[in-house]
Structure 1
Amino acid sequence: MTASTRFREFKMPDVGEGLTEAEILKWYVKPGDRVTDGQVVCEVETAKAAVELPIPYDGVVHELRFEEGTTVDVGMSIIMVDVAPDGAAAPEASKAPETPAASAASVAEPQMPAEEAKPKGRQPVLVGYGVSEASTKRRARKPAAGKAPAGQSVPAQPTGSPQAAAAALQTELNGRGGGVVTAPRPLAKPPVRKLAKDLGVDLATVTPTGPDGIITREDVYAAAAPAPAPAPVQPEPAVEAPAPVTAGARETRIPIKGVRKATAAAMIGSAFTAPHVTEFITVDVTRTMKLVEELKSDKDMAGLRVNPLLLVAKALLVAIKRNPQVNASWDEANQEIVVKHYVNLGIAAATPRGLIVPNIRDAHAKTLPELARSLGELVATAREGRTTPAAMQGGTVTITNVGVFGVDTGTPILNPGESAILAVGAIKLQPWVHKGKVKPRQVTTLALSFDHRLVDGELGSRVLADTAAILEQPKRLMTWA
Structure 2
Amino acid sequence: MRREFKLPDVGEGLTEAEIVRWHVQAGDDVKVNQIVVEIETAKSIVELPIPWDGVVTELLAEEGQTVEVGVPVIAVDTAEAGAPAPEAPRPAATTGAEPAAPDRLQALADDMVPKPPEEGAVEPGAHGSPAPKQAPKEAPKEERLAVLVGYGVKAGATKRRPRKQPGAIPAGPVANQSRIEVEGPPTTAPEPGAAVPGPPTTAREPGAAPAPGEPGARPAAAPAAGTPGPGRVSVLAKPPVRKLAKDLGVDLTGIAGSGPEGSITREDVQAAARAAVPEPGAVPEPAAARRPRGGEERIAVKGVRRMTAQAMVTSAFTAPHVTEFLQVDVTGTMEAVQRLRTLRDFAEVKVSPLLLVAKAVLTAVRRHPVINSSWDEAAQEIVVKHYVNLGIAAATPRGLVVPNVKAADQLSLPELAKELASLTETARAGRTQPAEMAGGTITITNVGVFGVDTGTPILNPGEAAILAFGQVRDMPWVVDGELAVRKVTTLSLSFDHRIVDGELGSLFLRDIGAMLEDPLRMLAWS
Give the TM-score normalised by the residue count of structure 1.
0.66
Q: Which amino acid aligns with 2:21?
A: K
> Which structure would you say has the larger Rg?
2
Q: Is the 8 A contact 1:287 1:474 kept in 2?
A: yes
Question: Equivalent residues in 2 for 1:12-411 (5 A)?
Answer: 12-84=7-79, 86=81, 88=83, 249-411=294-456
SS at match of 2:299: coil
Shift of 1:36: 1.1
SS at match of 1:349: strand
Q: Aligned equivalents of 2:294 and 2:323: distance in 1?
A: 40
Q: Aligned equivalents of 1:417 and 1:88: distance in 2?
A: 56
Alignment equivalent of 2:465, drawn from 420, 423, 430: 420
In 2 relative to 1, CA 291–61 (structure 1 residues): closer, same or farther, beyond 3 Å? same
Shift of 1:300: 2.0
Shift of 1:385: 1.1
Note the alpha carbon deviations across 1:20-64, whole angstroms, 9 max, x for none. Answer: 100000011111111111111110000000011001001111111
Percent same amino acid at aligned positions?
A: 63
Q: Is the 8 A contact 1:60 1:85 kept in 2?
A: no
Flag as ranges the 4+ runs of structure 1 deviating above 6 A: 153-156
Q: Which amino acid aligns with 1:373?
A: K
Shift of 1:249: 3.7
SS at match of 1:348: strand
Q: Which amino acid aligns with 1:13?
A: P
In 2 relative to 1, CA 298–155 (structure 1 residues): closer, same or farther, beyond 3 Å? farther
Note the alpha carbon deviations across 1:348-395, whole angstroms, 9 max, x for none. Answer: 000000000000011111111111011011011111111110000000
Note the alpha carbon deviations across 1:318-338, whole angstroms, 9 max, x for none. Answer: 111111111100111111111
Q: Which amino acid aligns with 2:370?
A: Q
Q: What RMSD, in angstroms, separates the aligned Cα atoms of the two structures?
A: 2.0
Q: Aligned equivalents of 1:274 and 1:7: distance in 2?
A: 52
Q: Aligned equivalents of 2:322 and 2:442: distance in 1?
A: 15
Q: Aligned equivalents of 1:89 and 1:311: distance in 2?
A: 66
Q: Aligned equivalents of 2:501 and 2:27: distance in 1?
A: 63
Q: Aligned equivalents of 2:312 and 2:298: distance in 1?
A: 22
Q: Which amino acid aligns with 1:318?
A: T
Q: Which amino acid aligns with 2:481?
A: G
Q: Which amino acid aligns with 2:16?
A: E
Q: Aligned equivalents of 1:309 and 1:258: distance in 2?
A: 28
Aligned to 1:175: none
Q: Which amino acid aligns with 1:351?
A: T
Q: Aligned equivalents of 1:280 and 1:42: distance in 2?
A: 45
Where in structure 2 are there 5+ consecutive unaligned residues?
A: 86-123, 128-292
Question: Equivalent residues in 2 for 1:396-475 (5 A)?
Answer: 396-475=441-520
Q: Which amino acid aligns with 2:23?
A: Y
Greater mean alpha carbon deviation, residues 77-86 or residues 368-377: 77-86
Q: Aligned equivalents of 2:379 and 2:345: distance in 1?
A: 46
Note the alpha carbon deviations across 1:427-474, whole angstroms, 9 max, x for none. Answer: 010000111011000000000000111111111111000000000111
Report how many aligned residue pairs link the two structures: 325
Where in structure 1 are there 5+ consecutive unaligned residues?
A: 1-5, 91-152, 157-247
SS at match of 1:60: strand
Q: Which amino acid aligns with 1:73?
A: E
Q: Aligned equivalents of 1:409 and 1:9: distance in 2?
A: 51
Note the alpha carbon deviations across 1:226-279, whole angstroms, 9 max, x for none. Answer: xxxxxxxxxxxxxxxxxxxxxx64222111110000000000000001111100
